Amino acid sequence: MNTKNLLFTAILIILSLIGGSTAEAQIIYTDVIPDTTVQSDGGVYALDLNNDGITDFNIAIFNNQIAQCGSSGSNKPGGCGTITNYYIIITPNGVNAIISDSDSEWSMTSAFLLGTPIDSSSSTWNNNSNFLEALGYYCFQGESCEISLIGNFGSEGDKYIALQLDVNSQKYYGWVRLSTYWGQEGFGGFGGGGDPSSFTVKDYAYNSTPDQPILAGQLNNNPIVILPSTNYCVGDSIAIPITSNYILFNASNYFIAQLSDSVGSFSNPLILDSIQSTNSVTINTIIPTGLYPSTNYKIRIISTDTSLISIPSMDFTINRLPSVVTVSNLNGNDTICPLDFWGSPEWSILGSNFLYPCIDCSYQWQFNGLDMVGEIGDLTGGPIGLTTSGIYHVDVTNACGVSSSNNYTLFVMPVINITMPDTMVCLNSLPMQLNALPASGTYSFWNSICCGESITGGGIFNTPSMLNGATVNSYYIYYSLYDSFGCHFSHTMMLNVNLCADVSEISNFNTIDIYPNPTTGTIYLSAPGNITLTDLSGKLLLEQKNTNQLDISALPAGMYFLHFGENNNQIVKVIKE
């Protein structure tokens, strides 16, 4: 415990021993014993807030049922059926009022949470009949029933209705606590066979001093603390207004402001500050630094005179400037390869980490000092698929300011482009030299007949030994290369090995000159005739009749066979460059 805590604890003990007198209590509380449940159609609870024998508010439950056919005005297309409406309403008597969504009749009554202030400035006061809940139950022939529920109360826990009582033109503020329940079968039954719908009144209270506030759920005259804001940052100034509810404390009284822990517990409270006062006053202090960010902090006030403890304030947020660092999946290695082993882009995944929660934070990633469009990922996200060298960081903004993470510099190695075009070769021309560039990699091959094997001997492809004599085939040549950083690059080419039978022998009888050969475009013959061009497998590619030239510029580089002469019985090997 620090010095301030010890000092204020001592003050609390000593002054509570001295004692003192207080004025007559102002909060009048009534516990409804036992809790009263109303569930019959037309049932009413008559609420006499100040217990003077006059009903101030009526809370009622009822239903009606409408037979309806067709789609006009109904929620179901076609068919006949019923629309059953169930209501819980509250009606102020005279000029009494409640708080609702608007000041018109049949508005929705506002549901207050514990500790919510109720006074003249609270939202919209309405002295008309208002719904607490309204439920529509639609059942049409041949269809299952549908449910529509509107209202602010629901069926989860207790809620408070804010009340304004008018007595001789003076306004008094109070509350009533109740819960609502919607039955399952028939949603209320009301004499049917169902689990009945209902509301249950549990207790109520009001401030007997005119025009003075009360907190929803406040049971006594202990001091009230209503914070002017629900969001603070560590180190902020905070004004804590204390309402003493017209209790006159002794001159020796201290009000001590205590802060809960981050989950709202006062089992080990932190003393913020104190002030000596006999009645309402404001404590001006500072939100301590080093607090854990949370949305569940509370403040309460303790008076040393008779040791009264206030109802804790509503939950509020204490935040702090984000402390963010950039993290990567590369474990500190700032160099990545442009491609992974399978030839896809290799990614550096950046994210952000925090030493404590970042409440209501927004994120903007930057690349070389400029915003990355659309990159506003949270603490587990961040920019993905980074394949560009540069400097990355994230700016994180919350109500306490902007924090920038550390810069992360990413180096992406250049792509190595491997050249190794598909080609065709005659069996009798093997072995052949494979010439992929850059030339420092290794080769292997496979085909559909057998498994693969490495190519040794400096990239010389020969008749494979594993193919059971099936040497005429299409082979996939796989080329693998690693650069000096260990980045992997690869390329696959197809090598077609053909028999090319008798080509050289037939070519010995050619009587027509073919030129130029090799060529980059058009081949010319010394005499016209019918010409066809095939690939090494015999597939027909081009055909011309009664001509002495053939344009092959559109074909890829490689080896082809030109057929000409009577019955195309003369063949010449043509090289396209």
Please name every residue paired with 91 in a beta bridge, in sequence order, or none if there are none: 58
**Which CATH number does 3-23+220-319 carry?**
2.60.40.1930
By CB atoms closer than 10 A (0-12, 13-18, 19+), residue 197 is buried
What average pLDDT score do residues 74-91 get?
68
| Residue of 198 and 60 predicted with greater confidence | 60
d(CA 508, CA 513): 12
What average pLDDT score do residues 15-27 get?
46
What average pLDDT score do residues 54-75 get?
73
- pLDDT, tens only, 507-517: 444 567 788 88
- pLDDT, tens only, 230-280: 899 999 999 999 877 667 788 999 999 999 999 999 999 999 999 999 888
pLDDT confidence of residue 258 = 96
Candidates 2.40.50.140, 3.40.50.2300, 1.20.120.1760, 2.60.40.3080; CATH matching 505-576: 2.60.40.3080
- pLDDT, tens only, 308-336: 888 788 889 999 998 887 777 666 567 77
d(CA 451, CA 455): 13
**Which CATH number does 423-498 carry?**
2.60.40
Q: Which of 150-154, 213-217, 538-542 has the lowest mean pLDDT?
A: 150-154
- Domains of the chain, by residue range, sit at 3-23+220-319, 27-215, 326-412, 423-498, 505-576
By CB atoms closer than 10 A (0-12, 13-18, 19+), residue 77 is exposed
C-alpha distance from residue 180 to each of 37, 135, 170, 187 (Å): 9, 12, 31, 12
Q: 267-284 b/e with 16+ CB inside 10 Å = b?
A: eebbbbbbbebbbebebe
- pLDDT, tens only, 440-467: 888 888 775 556 677 766 677 776 654 4
* 5 dihedral zone (left: phi>0; alpha: psi -120 to 50; beta): alpha
Q: Indicate whether this model's pTM tops 0.85.
A: no
- pLDDT, tens only, 368-382: 888 887 776 654 444
Pairing state between β 316-319 and 231-233: parallel
Residue 245: closest CA among 534, 495, 29, 65: 29
Contact 239, 284 (CB under 8 A): yes
| Residue of 141 and 122 predicted with greater confidence | 122
| Residue of 115 and 88 predicted with greater confidence | 88
Given a cut of 80, is residue 345 above it in pLDDT?
Answer: no
Helix H, strand E, coil C: the string for 159-194 is EEEEEEEEECCEEEEEEEEEEEECCCHHHHCCCCCC
Q: Which residue has the tokens 């028999």?
A: 499
- pLDDT, tens only, 154-207: 765 688 999 999 999 999 999 999 988 876 544 443 333 445 678 899 999 999
Q: Give the pLDDT band (50/70/90) at residue 413.
A: confident
What average pLDDT score do residues 403-410 get?
83
Given a cut of 90, is residue 417 above it in pLDDT?
Answer: no
| Residue of 150 and 179 predicted with greater confidence | 179
Fold entry, domain 326-412: Immunoglobulin-like (2.60.40)
Please name every residue paired with 352 in a beta bridge, in sequence order, or none if there are none: 326
What average pLDDT score do residues 20-32 get?
68
d(CA 278, CA 386): 65
d(CA 450, CA 452): 7
